[in-house]
Amino acid sequence: MKDNRYALVIMDSSGRSTRRVALSYRRAQALLGGCTLALLVLIGMVVHGTLRVDDAREAEKLARTNEELRGALAEAQARLPDSRAQAFRTMLSSLQVRSKSVLGVDSVLLGIGPVEEGDLDSSEDATGESSVSSIRSTVDLDLHLDALDIHATSVRHTLGGIDEYFRDAERLLQNTPSLRPAQTPWFTSRYGKRKDPISAQWVMHKGVDIGGYIGMKVVSPADGVVIWTGRRGGYGLTVVLDHGYGLQTHFAHLNKYHVKRGDRVRRGDVIAEMGNTGKSTGPHLHYEVRRDGRPMNPVNFILD
């Protein structure tokens, strides 16, 4: 049987020294197979190492991201009490406004509710990927909280302005002379030009005359301050109240008064008694309302 052999000639660079190695066919095949296997193993090790390096880099990147998110979450949790306090103050302002505006407090509130801790937690999506992608960076979270604080502050300031408006409106109504100063329905003389009952000349009647009897109680039609008490010409015994907002009320022909200059009075307080002093033809109250010094028709102010 013919034995096929392969001769492997090894020669140095000068070509003088050579060495011959005889290999049988089987040995040559075994050597070639071993070299091929070793090469494949080497390639596999290189590919595996490369993949492991990429995995290690990705794991390191995720670890850094998780650390940043944990820090952002801790900061957010530290800021949440302030945000909740902002929301609570906003809710209280809303309740005050609704109460003053007679809107009630059982409807949906105008304030902003507090942010719950669960709203900041991350979750896994359907593909198993982390919801880190929903929060691009810690800056987004900071901006979200800043926007919440700014919006809550803005709403609270707006509600504060509305609340102040209602306070002013309440003070204006409280200081507007809307009560009838004497509890009698008799108007014996109206506001406007009339014949003077004594001189019979046409003159401007700056108020209304309310009929009654001597000693009938005269009450303050609104909150105010007493700025005059005493006798004043044809008006007789007179009391003048200043209600602010340019409004004054004058009460004339009194029998006596129960207040003194500088007293603060409330709506409905008794300030005097009806009389017949000064230029008067019988017991009655002469009642005037003036705005910025100009006489106004008192009937337009009386609501009761």
- Give yes or no for residue 178 having a pLDDT over 80: yes
- Give yes or no for residue 134 having a pLDDT over 50: no
Confidence of residue 261 (pLDDT cuts 50, 70, 90): very high
Is residue 126, in this structure, part of any structural domain at all?
Answer: no
Same domain membership, residue 239 and residue 278: yes
Confidence of residue 69 (pLDDT cuts 50, 70, 90): confident
pLDDT-wise least confident of 80-94, 187-201, 229-243: 80-94
Is residue 179, in this structure, part of any structural domain at all?
Answer: no
Domain around 169: 76-115+134-174
| Whole-number CA gyration radius for the chain | 49
Is residue 228, in this structure, part of any structural domain at all?
Answer: yes
pLDDT of residue 38: 82
Same domain membership, residue 102 and residue 47: no
- Give yes or no for residue 190 having a pLDDT over 70: yes
Is residue 127, in this structure, part of any structural domain at all?
Answer: no
Cα–Cα distance measured from residue 235 to residue 123, given in angstroms and rounded to the nearest whole number: 84
Same domain membership, residue 296 and residue 191: yes
Considering only residues 220 and 105, tell me which one the structure prediction assigns the higher pLDDT. Answer: 220
Cα–Cα distance measured from residue 242 to residue 247, given in angstroms and rounded to the nearest whole number: 6
Q: For 10-54, what is each residue's pLDDT tens digit?
A: 666 666 656 666 666 677 677 777 878 888 888 888 777 777 777
Helices (H), 175-270: none
Is residue 121, in this structure, part of any structural domain at all?
Answer: no
Q: Which of helix, strand or coil describes residue 205?
A: strand
For residues 129, 132, 134, 139, the Cα torsion angle rounded to the nearest 10 degrees is: -170
What mean pLDDT comes out for the span 153-161? 64
Same domain membership, residue 278 and residue 206: yes
Same domain membership, residue 286 and residue 191: yes
Q: What angle do CA 128, 133, 137 make, to 5 degrees?
A: 145
Same domain membership, residue 82 and residue 65: no
Same domain membership, residue 193 and residue 167: no
Tokens standing for residue 173 = 């109504």
- Give yes or no for residue 113 having a pLDDT over 90: no
- Give yes or no for residue 143 having a pLDDT over 80: no
pLDDT of residue 119: 43
Average pLDDT, the chain: 76
Is residue 129, in this structure, part of any structural domain at all?
Answer: no
Number of domains the chain contains: 3
Same domain membership, residue 234 and residue 212: yes
> Going by C-beta distance under 8 Å and a sequence separation of 6 or more, which residues neighbour residue 150?
none
> Going by C-beta distance under 8 Å and a sequence separation of 6 or more, which residues neighbour residue 261?
226, 227, 228, 229
Tokens standing for residue 171 = 């003070």
Q: What angle do CA 226, 193, 195 make, to 5 degrees?
A: 105
pLDDT of residue 203: 86
CATH code for position 220: 2.70.70.10
239 CA to centre of own chain: 45
pLDDT of residue 272: 97
Q: What percent of the chain has pLDDT over 90?
A: 34
Cα–Cα distance measured from residue 180 to residue 251, given in angstroms and rounded to the nearest whole number: 12
Same domain membership, residue 237 and residue 275: yes
pLDDT of residue 60: 79
DSSP letter at 201 equals: -
Same domain membership, residue 37 and residue 83: no
Same domain membership, residue 289 and residue 208: yes
Is residue 125, in this structure, part of any structural domain at all?
Answer: no
Is residue 167, in this structure, part of any structural domain at all?
Answer: yes
94 CB burial (10 A radius; 0-12, 13-18, 19+): buried
Same domain membership, residue 202 and residue 291: yes
